[in-house]
Chains A and B, each alone.
Chain A
């Protein structure tokens, strides 16, 4: 077992169940020449130690931007933080200076990205790239850092790690690259890991292995994981709570069971109806959501989902729905017709098995993907 590293900016270790990160009313707008892109527009969420929060949404829903904002990775300009706070263990990261942020990045909060090939620097050896993150945060020489990098590669399940450490990213397979990225992200035992579509670019079988690896490491270390994805199956089997985003806003936030059994937002319901189910004989057709995700420059009035929603009425066109508490604890949704959604869900043709379906198709067709292709 490798030695544990001590570098941290935290004054104390977080208690189990303690809230690590709390985002309040975050607005990130991109000022482009074509208009203001409201990528994140009034979003609030939080995550506790050891928890897994799934953030689901179509392309352009703002799910990645809100995670990148936590790391201070959103380029400003063109982006501007119009409002909000990002409280990490009592400190507002939006107010932190670059130097303070730098100490947190890769150390207390890490991030892994969608495409492990382009996310690793092609001209440096993998071992060097892992050792680098250690050396930034720890007072450690080249040789021990290199050794530690080899141990980390072994830990994420890369065979023959010593030799692999002195190879370049292009010599790794897709899954191996993502393992290396994970090794890099977890090198300093972060309390929070932001995983932005960590398996999207990988083969189905490799996807499962990577998720398993992430979960094992999470259990060992108590890391909190924000899992950003458009793959509902992934969320169903791995997340504790789920945040559904649409057009830069929170559509629905609830425990994973509630999201799948008792959705209260027409959009969430739409996503679930588009999910293929293996356990139920196909009685009804799959119903993908019609239309395309909206342009974030010209967000539709009222509820941004109304042009694609079959429940939409006049009020949806006119009034922006508030995020309100639903009939269940810790469940909020921003839908004018949440009662009708509930009826749809629990009606005669109710999809009671949606969640188990999603789990069995854990690597199944990503719902949102069909939509992105057409855009």
Chain B
């Protein structure tokens, strides 16, 4: 297991190095004006200001130097200063991240609970009413993008039926329900489908027959022997889908007026507050990579064939 984790860590380092190169290339090499991107637009027209800004953002240095500075800054947590708020980007992110994390956790919880149970039920009762129901619901859910399902949820549950708060996060656990479900809907549907498919395949495996032949009850065969094997691809999927979750969180926060990183980012996009956009993106990549490292390790725990190769 130790070796496995070390290898994953090394791989992660490589990915982060590559990702920093890509981000750096976007900023400094892509056709565009780094000064207006980093320095906030209009002022750069005056050559004197331009020279000054070139110096301030080290744009007069060779690319390698610029890259080194960029990486050291990111590593130090220095992501620049917001144009609009005049505060370090890092402080702003720190302030908002807890709200976003809570929302994401709620969504992951919903995804796992709803997705796995729906998938297991559909697989165990294949071709039954419940299976058809799960299949239809998941297909529909996949067709409804986050921003559409969010608006519909709000319209139905808050505006028409008044059972749940329309937006914000001051309503206690209740206020997590709609945004959490909105953010979870597509993933839960995909997990349910994946779970159903894997479960059906696993249920045909020889070791399930062995488990039955041992005299185990159907419940133990399904919940222990089949589940434990079917969960492995689901865990992998959860790691991969975390990127989509981050994207979805941006939208969900906007719709539900959630005071997190997503709404900050959207405001930043519309006000061209570029340091915030870049800082948030950098963090998003970092978190995504870390989550997948965690998933890889979990995967190793779940599947001894990987762990002990």
| Partner-B contacts on A (CB < 8 A) | 71, 73, 98, 102-107, 110-111, 113, 115, 118-124, 132-133, 136-137, 168, 170-171, 181, 184
Interface residues as binary, B184-209 with A (CB distance below 8 Å gives 1, 0 otherwise): 00000000000000000000011101
Taking A110-B213, A171-B308 as known contacts, 5 extra A-B pairs with beta carbons closer than 8 A to each other, sorted by chain A number, are A73-B212, A124-B228, A168-B304, A170-B304, A181-B210
Q: Which of A102, A115, A137, A168 contacts B206 (CB 8 A)?
A: A115
**Is there an interface contact between B213 and A122, defined as CB atoms closer than 8 Å?**
no
Cβ of B290 < 8 Å from any Cβ of A?
Answer: no
The residue of chain B having its C-beta at the shortest distance from the C-beta of A117 within the complex is: B206
Q: Quick check: A123 and B302 within 8 Å, CB to CB?
A: yes
| Residues of B bordering A, CB below 8 Å | 205-207, 209-218, 225, 228-229, 232, 302-305, 308
Whether A111 pairs with B305 at a CB distance below 8 angstroms is no
Select one of A122, A132, A181 contacting B216, CB under 8 A.
Answer: A132
Q: How distant is B226 from chain A, measured CB to nearest CB, in Å?
A: 9
- Min C-beta distance of A67 to chain B, whole Å: 11
List, sorted by A's number, 29 A–B pairs whose CB atoms are closer than 8 Å: A71-B212, A71-B213, A73-B209, A73-B213, A102-B215, A102-B216, A105-B214, A105-B215, A111-B213, A113-B210, A115-B206, A118-B207, A119-B206, A119-B207, A119-B209, A120-B207, A121-B210, A121-B211, A121-B228, A121-B229, A123-B228, A123-B302, A123-B303, A136-B215, A136-B216, A137-B215, A168-B304, A168-B308, A170-B308
| Residue in B209, B229, B308 whose CB lies within 8 Å of A113 | B209
Q: Which of B216, B229, B303 has the most CB of A within 10 A?
A: B216
* Bound Cα distance from A354 to B308, whole angstroms: 49
- 7 cross-chain pairs, A with B, having the tightest CB-CB distances, nearest first: A106-B215, A105-B215, A106-B214, A118-B206, A121-B207, A133-B214, A168-B304
Given A102-B216, A133-B215, decide whether A120 and B210 contact each other with a Cβ distance below 8 A.
Answer: yes
Contact check, B305 vs A132: say whether CB atoms are below 8 A apart.
Answer: no
- Taking a contact as CB atoms closer than 8 A, the residue among B205, B214, B225, B303 that contacts A136 in the complex is B214
Given contacts A102-B216, A106-B215, contact A122 B210 (CB under 8 A): no
Q: By the criterion CB–CB under 8 Å, are A105 and B304 in contact?
A: no
Taking a contact as CB atoms under 8 Å apart, the answer to whether B305 and A105 are in contact is no
Pick the residue among A71, A102, A110 that contacts B217 (CB under 8 A): A102
Contact A119 B304 (CB under 8 A): no
| Chain A positions within 8 Å of B308 at CB level | 168, 170-171
From A73, A104, A122, give the contact of B207 (CB < 8 A): A122
Distance to closest chain A CB from B219 (angstroms) = 11
Per the bound structure, the CA–CA distance linking A122 and B304 in Å amounts to: 8
The minimal Cβ–Cβ distance linking B120 to chain A, given in whole angstroms, is: 17
Contacts of A124 in B (CB 8 A): 225, 228
Known: A123-B229, A168-B305. Is A105-B212 also a contact (CB below 8 A)?
A: yes
CB atoms of B215 and A122 under 8 A apart = no
A107 CB contacts on chain B under 8 angstroms: 215
Quote the shortest CB–CB distance from B198 to chain A (angstroms): 13
Asked whether A106 and B213 contact (CB < 8 A) given A120-B207, A168-B304, the answer is: yes
Among residues of A, the one whose C-beta sits closest to the C-beta of B309 is A170
Contact status B304-A113, CB under 8 Å:
no
- Residues of chain B lying within 8 A (CB to CB) of residue A121: 207, 210-211, 225, 228-229
